[in-house]
Amino acid sequence: MSTVRRAAAGATRTCPHCRTVILQSATVCPACKKHLRFDPSRATTVIGSEQATPSFSPLRIEGSIKHPDAGEAWEYSVVVSIKNERGDEVARQVVGVGALQPGEARTFSVSVDVYKPD
C-alpha cells in the first residue's frame, strides 16, 4: 500500500522543463504550461491536455501602453515586486524587457492565482 505525503503549504520545487521555481503542488507549470503530473482532482480537459484550475484569483490587473506615432523608440522593463505585511520586499524579478517603435503598443497583465488544497 502506498501513502502519498502532502507537502507543506508554500513548498516549492523547480520545473523540470523551464527551471522556474513553482509550487510543489502544481500539476501544470504556470510559466511554461507543461504537464508535470496527472492529478484528476485538479485537472480540467482543455483540447486534450490537463490544466490546473486555480480556486480563485484575488488580484488581476491589465493595462496597455502605446508609443506615439512619431519619435524615438521607448524601452521598457516589466518588474514584479512582492512585499510582506510590514512593507519589506521579499521578492523582485524582471520578467520582460523590450522596445516599442513608433505606433506600437503592448498590453500587460498580472494576476495572483490561489490554489486551495483539497
pLDDT tens-digit series, residues 53-87: 678 889 999 999 999 999 899 999 999 999 999 99
| Residue with the larger pLDDT of the pair 116 and 73 | 73
Q: How confident is the model at residue 3 (pLDDT cuts 50, 70, 90)?
A: low
Question: Do 81 and 108 reside in the same domain of the chain?
Answer: yes
Are 42 and 93 found together in one domain?
no
Question: Which pLDDT band holds residue 39 (cuts at 50, 70, 90)?
Answer: low
Q: Does residue 1 lie in a domain region?
A: no
In a domain, 79, yes or no: yes
- Same-domain check for residues 31 and 88: no
49/78: higher pLDDT = 78
pTM score above 0.75: no
pLDDT higher than threshold 70 for residue 6: no
- Domain of residue 89 covers 55-118
- Whether residues 63 and 39 share a domain: the answer is no
Q: Which parts of the chain are beta strand (E)?
A: 12-14, 21-23, 43-46, 49-52, 56-66, 74-83, 89-100, 105-114
Q: Give the bridge partners for 112, in sequence order.
A: 59
2 lies in some domain: no
Q: How many domains does the chain have?
A: 2
Q: Are residues 45 and 70 in the same domain?
A: no
Same domain, 46 and 80: no
Residue 3 in domain = no
Query: How far is residue 2 CA from its own chain's centroid?
Result: 32
Same domain for 17 and 47? yes
Residue 48 or residue 106, greater confidence: 106
